[in-house]
Amino acid sequence: WSVTLLFLSPKDLYTAPDSCRGRCEEPYSTEDECHCNAECESYHDCCEDYYRHCRPEGFSSSWDAITDEDLLHISEQLYKADHNKARPTDIAINPQYQASPDETGHQEDRSPQPLYKYVNEELFSKPTYASFIKLLDNYQRVTGREEDVTAEELREQDNFLKEVMKTELMKKLFAFLHKKNRYGSEQEFVADLKEMWFGLYSRGDGEQDSSGFEHVFSGRARTGGMEGAGQPWADGLTPGSCLCLGEVKKGKVSGFHNWIRFYLLEKQGIVNYFSHNFNGPWDTYPDVLGLQFSWDGFYKEVGSAFIGCSPEFEFGLYTLCFIARPGRACHLSLGGYSLSIQTYTWTNSTYGNGKKYIATAYVISP
């Protein structure tokens, strides 16, 4: 393992967009390393390709930009289109002890009962759920072990993408991105989804051992080493920052943000729920919960998950934010309530014409 990883700052491994492709007239943000609105010319902080994309017949004229208002509108549309989400009678959770900010690192099990009192498992027979669950056993849990992707697993990836693309939610997302000139056809969109989510890259010693889907939805185990050290999504998180579940690093957990995965592992006795530090304002599903737990003996100090949403809802929201606001907070609206998602690109390797894989995506606590 390379000791130099210890000294890399997050910016060394992940960077905000440095291109104006699809960002013309985007609102100014201090988080951006360069800018794409008209004022950047007078402030001399335009991205290098500002004139190519934004003046005047470039790829991205102003109507191609995804504005903050666009994100609020499309996220509400996706929220309403989640027809496969759990009904209030499908899930009963038992949050029990609420931890204060200074208690989240105590590693004390203050909730004797499981988080999930009841889940109507008939949900899991719905096509998007069934195809999603089949993907969860396709991964080596230990970082540094090369993934052996079988023909059957590739078919399962294709089947999941096929099923989610049948939903109104993903059709609305594609229509929005098509209108914004990101994809010319649904076929192109699906091909890119497969690469950005399922394309393999190395988080370890050079082996193709990880993917965005695996990190976000499934999780991995790690008992030592420095993989991910210094990341804003790694261990030692403060309230109001990353709320993540699952991939084990340095004997701790990151990634694994999915309620279905959590429920299935808790049912097997592999995940032990300790407490929660945040319960979202939603009075129906999907909801958001911040929680503390151990996974097969490894502790997670601050985790979060959407509770009761369909697989396509999480998949769609994270995709939207990765495309629209990679490397930055992506501000959304769900049922009239604000929610933000943070994504990061994996910049150590690319696919296609310099496109980036998904490193992680997670809910930021409001």
- Which tens digit of pLDDT belongs to each residue from 172-231? 999 999 999 999 999 999 999 999 999 988 776 566 667 889 888 876 555 444 333 333
Confidence of residue 237 (pLDDT cuts 50, 70, 90): very low
300 as an active site residue: the answer is yes
Closest CA to 138 of 246, 228, 210, 227: 210
Give yes or no for residue 258 having a pLDDT over 50: yes
Could you say which of 35, 85, 257, 356 is catalytic? 257
Residues 107 and 192 in one domain: yes
Mean pLDDT rounded to a whole number for the chain? 81
Q: Is residue 36 in some structural domain?
A: yes
Give yes or no for residue 117 having a pLDDT over 90: yes
The DSSP 8-state label assigned to residue 223 in this structure reads S
Residues 42 and 78 in one domain: no
Residues 193 and 121 in one domain: yes
Residues 275 and 183 in one domain: yes
Q: What is the CATH number of the domain that holds 47?
A: 4.10.410.20
What does residue 162 show for φ and ψ, rounded to 5 degrees? Answer: -60, -45
Question: What is the crossing angle of helices 151-165 and 311-324, to 10°?
Answer: 90
- Hey, what are 315's tokens? 């998949």
Confidence of residue 138 (pLDDT cuts 50, 70, 90): low
Residues 27 and 135 in one domain: no
State mean pLDDT over 105-116: 94
| Better-predicted residue by pLDDT, 360 or 7 | 360
35 as an active site residue: the answer is no
State mean pLDDT over 245-271: 77
Q: How many domains does the chain have?
A: 2
44 as an active site residue: the answer is no
Q: Is residue 7 in some structural domain?
A: no
Residues 123 and 28 in one domain: no
**Cβ-based burial of 152 (10 A; exposed 0-12, middle 13-18, buried ≥19):** exposed
Model pTM score? 0.78
Confidence of residue 7 (pLDDT cuts 50, 70, 90): very low
Give yes or no for residue 353 having a pLDDT over 70: yes
Residues 207 and 323 in one domain: yes
Q: Is residue 6 in some structural domain?
A: no
The least confident of 72-76, 96-100, 108-112, 344-348 is 344-348
| Better-predicted residue by pLDDT, 221 or 51 | 51
Q: Give the range with max mean pLDDT: 45-54, 84-93, 242-251.
A: 84-93
In the chain, alpha helices (H): 10-13, 39-43, 50-54, 68-80, 127-135, 151-165, 168-179, 186-198, 212-213, 259-267, 311-324
Residues 47 and 125 in one domain: no
Long-range contacts of range 171-179, CB-CB < 8 Å, 24 or more positions apart? 172/74, 172/77, 172/78, 172/81, 173/74, 173/78, 173/316, 173/319, 173/320, 176/70, 176/74, 176/77, 176/320, 177/320, 177/323
Residues 124 and 261 in one domain: yes
Q: What is the pLDDT of residue 250?
A: 53
Could you say which of 180, 249, 300, 356 is catalytic? 300
Domain of residue 210, residue span: 66-221+244-364
Cβ atoms 160, 135 nearer than 8 A: yes
Q: Is residue 61 in some structural domain?
A: no
Residues 40 and 176 in one domain: no
Residues 50 and 72 in one domain: no
Closest CA to 79 of 363, 332, 303, 362: 332
Residues 41 and 96 in one domain: no
Give yes or no for residue 5 having a pLDDT over 50: no
Could you say which of 215, 249, 276, 356 is catalytic? 215
